[in-house]
Amino acid sequence: MITIHVNAKDASGTIEQIKNVIGGEITEKWGQHVLSVDNETAKGEIRVLNFDWGASLLEYDITFFDEVSLITDTSTYNPISFVYCLEGYCGHKFGHQEMTELKIMEQYQSVIISSKADGVNHGYLPAGIHLHINVIRLRRNQFMSKRLNKGEALNKQLYEVFLDTDHKNVFSYYGSYNLKMADLVSSIKKVTAEGMIRILQIEGLVYQILSMHIVQHNDEVQNKGPETSLLKRELNTIREYAGKIGKNIAKEFTLEEISNETGLTQAKLQEGFKLLYGMTVTEYIRNARLEVARDYIETTEMNISEVVYSIGFTSRSYFSKIFKEKYGISPSEFKNGKMDMAIAG
């Protein structure tokens, strides 16, 4: 087992201390620090991005070839951590607990952890499994002063964690599976913009992920969490098929066909799409087509009729009607507005 001791004052220092044990090289671009490793110990990246409102994003996108014990001294840096495992799993226990009390953070699970001051966190990272773990860390004092003047958004239990700026208490919450969060976490890696635009886009996604963690905690504490008979693998099947729809946007999908391909009943498909996306299967397909159509109008020279047929619609009038219902503007007005902006630029 590889043992890594961390006592850094911030997330950037954390990956520096990880590098000292597992090797690799750290590069910095547009404020993001990236540890890249490709050796006998590990292969992949660990990325850190800090924000001025007391938050940092730490992402593991890596495979370790031996088990890792990450022992973190919280006396100098003790944020609230919002953890989400997009791929793989990891473990955690507080320093005062026995090793048998290690709790596993499973794939797609929302987890919130806060430690005592002068305490120790024990993290566990498995060997031979690709890990994609998203960790949003918040410094309480800085976050409270800049982003949380009032506590209406938090229930009492979580608000007290934010107010515990002296770090007197431990707190842990292991929530239910949240596949909606998976799409947001996946989106971070897909950001292709550069410079300040890149940072702003990632920051916006971090806000959304953090909000989703908090809302889920509130709902589950109040017993308002999602109730479903679907298994995690069934929800994952639905999420994967939603991705297939996005990649084959012009294809005429039917509920019967999707049921046959996934092995899920039509009722389970409807339940899963409602749970994950807040839409029926038909609504999801229509919404996905509209989003692609908007991108085509905005980024290509295709005329409206070409856009309509390229996304699988046959009626331009129907397309114009539902486009305006969704975006509050007709496709032609949207296209002309884009052209006017290009001329003005």
- Alpha carbon distance 52, 82 (integer Å): 18
pTM of the model: 0.74
- Alpha carbon distance 42, 64 (integer Å): 4
Answer for the pair 124, 91: CB distance below 8 angstroms, yes or no. Answer: yes
Instruction: Return the number of other C-beta atoms located less than 10 Å from residue 247's C-beta.
Output: 7
- pLDDT the model gives residue 343: 39
Rg (CA), the chain: 23
pLDDT tens digits along 43-85: 999 999 999 888 899 999 999 999 999 998 887 777 889 999 9
- pLDDT the model gives residue 235: 85
Residue with tokens 């038909």: 282
H-only helix segments in 179-231 = 179-190, 195-221
CB within 8 Å of 60: residues ≥ 6 apart: 44, 46, 125, 131, 132, 133, 135
pLDDT tens digits along 138-184: 887 777 666 554 555 566 666 666 766 666 677 888 988 888 899 89
Please say whether the structural domain 232-344 has been given the CATH code 3.20.20.70. Answer: no
CB within 8 Å of 276: residues ≥ 6 apart: 179, 180, 235, 238, 239, 242
Domain boundaries along the sequence of the chain: 2-222, 232-344
Answer for the pair 34, 27: CB distance below 8 angstroms, yes or no. Answer: yes
H/E element holding 161?
A: helix 156-163
Bridge-based pairing of strands 2-6 and 68-73 is parallel
Residue with tokens 């409807």: 270
Judge whether 2-222 and 232-344 match in fold: no
- Residue 239, phi then psi, degrees to nearest 5: -60, -40
- pLDDT the model gives residue 194: 86
Residue 20 corresponds to which tokens in the numbers above?
Answer: 């000292």
- pLDDT the model gives residue 155: 61
Architecture of 2-222 per CATH? Sandwich (2.60)
Each residue's pLDDT, cut to its tens digit, for the chain (345 residues) gives: 999 999 888 888 899 999 999 999 999 988 899 999 999 999 999 999 999 888 899 999 999 999 999 998 887 777 889 999 999 999 998 876 665 678 999 999 999 998 877 778 899 999 999 999 999 998 877 776 665 545 555 666 666 667 666 666 778 889 888 888 998 999 998 888 888 888 999 999 999 999 899 888 888 877 765 667 788 788 889 988 998 999 999 999 999 999 999 999 999 999 889 888 888 999 999 999 999 999 999 888 899 999 999 999 989 999 999 999 999 999 999 888 754 444 344
Bridge-based pairing of strands 25-29 and 120-125 is unpaired
Answer for the pair 213, 82: CB distance below 8 angstroms, yes or no. Answer: yes
Helix and strand element counts for the chain (H, E) = 12, 13
Exposed / middle / buried, residue 259 (Cβ in 10 Å: 0-12, 13-18, 19+): middle
Nearest to 105 by CA among 172, 35, 27: 172
Task: Enter the DSSP assignment of 107.
Answer: B
- pLDDT the model gives residue 231: 81
